Structure formats: C-alpha cells, structure tokens
Structure 1
Amino acid sequence: MTSPDTCDATAGAEPPAAVSDCVQVLKKRSDFLLAARARRQGTKGLMLQGRNRADKDALIRVGFTCSKKVGNAVKRNRAKRRLREVARLVLPDHGQPGWDYVLIGRAEATDDRDFEKLQSDLIYALKQVHK
C-alpha cells in the first residue's frame, strides 16, 4: 500500500481498501462541522456536503454519517457500507483534490436504493457542489 501522501493505485499487492489511496477518511468532529457549513446538495439516495480546503493538498477527504432516522443499527451500518463503496468508486474520478466531502445517508433511501442509481446520485451531487 502507498503512503497517505501519494495517489498511486498500482503500488502494493494488498486487496483494495474500502476507500482508495487518493481518498482519506475524515475522523475529526471539527472537519465534519466545517463541511456542514459549506455547500450541500441533496439527492434521492444521499446528501452531500462539500468544502474546498485552503491547503490544496493532493488528497480528497471524505466522511460518512447516518442518523437514527435511517433506522436501527443494522440499517445505518448497511447504508454507511454502501456510501463507502460508492465513494470508493466515484470520488477518484469525479472528486476534486483539496476538497472535503461528507456523505449523509437518507432514511428509507440509502440502504434500499439501486446501487447504480446511488452512484449517479453522487456524481450529480458532486457536479452541483463544484459549480
């Protein structure tokens, strides 16, 4: 696996991670709060919050959250797993370096929505946030 500062998907023979090497996962509450004050775009399957950082490093950072409105713990975890996989597939191609994204699961939608539609929802939301 490559270092977190590089964006080389060909290095290493380990199985693919839940999020690619070009994408770093948000863990600090302060990062989530800063993204909450930035641009947002809702779709049928998810809500996206996006923030353009000032440091412009090469990494895309992403966080995932689901409230109790999504359902019990099983439904919330399933929704977050689906959001992580969608982010892994879409963000390296459609995300912009130097941005923080927070993907929020929606009640009665994220865990049941068709996976291809969930991907197109994220692509649409990214285009709207980057305008």
Structure 2
Amino acid sequence: MEAVETLKKRSEFLRIRGGARWATPAFVLEAKPRTPGRARTVFGAESDVARFGFTATKKLGSAVVRNRIRRRLKAAVDALAPRCARSNCDYVLVARSSAETRSFASLCGDLEQAFIRVNRVMSSMDGRGSSKRPRGPVS
C-alpha cells in the first residue's frame, strides 16, 4: 500500500477553507479541487493524486493524544482514499475529541459518508471556488 500524499504548508491548508465541508462526530472533512499547476512533488513534477492534511488542536489533549488521533485518521484515509477520494483534489481532516474513542469501523463509515458528501458538493461547484451561494446586494 502506498502512503497518501500530505499537505505540508499553512497556505495549502488555508486554501481549502472556502471549499466543501462535512462534519461528523469525530472530524470535519474539508475539500477543494486543485487548480492545475498547484501541486508539485518534491522533484518539481506536477501531481494529480488526492492530497490530505490532518489537524488536531491542543484542546484535544497532550501530544500523545493528538498524535494517536492523527494516526487513526491517517489509517482510515489509507483504507478509503483509493476508492473514495477524487484525484486532483485536496482534503483536510480537522479532528474532534471523539476521534480518539470512536470505533475504527464507525470512523471509516463516517469518512466514507463524508467523502460522498463533499465530492457531491464539489461536483456542483463547477469551478466557482466556494460552495456558498453568492449573496446579492444588501438593502
């Protein structure tokens, strides 16, 4: 099994903030399609595989707890990404406190459902950049 490609820079995480999102008890999945030329591998070649970012705030606990949560989320992504994640898209999983205690099977079920939801929203975005409807002038 091949390791998933991960997001490293803060700017990559911030770019995804305006995209599609779906919340579950254990995490929030945010996703956004990548524009051509955005993803460069270590050697400078362009990559079209799905990339993932994982965040766990200090509110969740000590470094040991946060790392355990990140490892569980990464394992779920490893299991589901090949068949559920879209290529040329970036995903961020923001951990919640129940990610530590939730069973791995329900964690994977939640992730699969979240992939379905955000991919549906990204399909309807049609390159607009945000899943929010445009607002009219305020009167």
- More deviation, 69-78/49-58: 49-58
State the Cα deviation string for residues 35-56 of structure 1 (Å, max 9, x = none).
1221111001111010111228
**Could you state the TM-score of these two structures normalised by the residue count of structure 2?**
0.75
Aligned residues: 111
Q: Report the Cα offset of residue 77 of structure 1.
A: 0.7
Q: Which has the larger radius of gyration?
A: 2
RMSD over aligned CA atoms reads 1.4
Alignment partners' CA distance in 1, 2:58 and 2:19? 23
* Residue identity (%): 36
Give unpaired runs (5+ residues) of structure 1: 1-15
Local SS of the residue matching 1:121:
helix
Partner of 1:39: 20
**Could you state the TM-score of these two structures normalised by the residue count of structure 1?**
0.79
Q: Report the Cα offset of residue 58 of structure 1.
A: 2.6
More relative contact order in 1 or in 2 (CA 8 Å, sep 6+)? 2
The residue type equivalent to 1:41 in the other structure is W
**Segments ≥4 residues shifted beyond 2 Å:** none
Q: Find the partner of 1:80 among 70, 73, 78.
A: 70
The residue type equivalent to 1:47 in the other structure is V
Alignment partners' CA distance in 1, 2:31 and 2:9? 16
Local SS of the residue matching 2:80:
helix
Partner of 2:109: 120
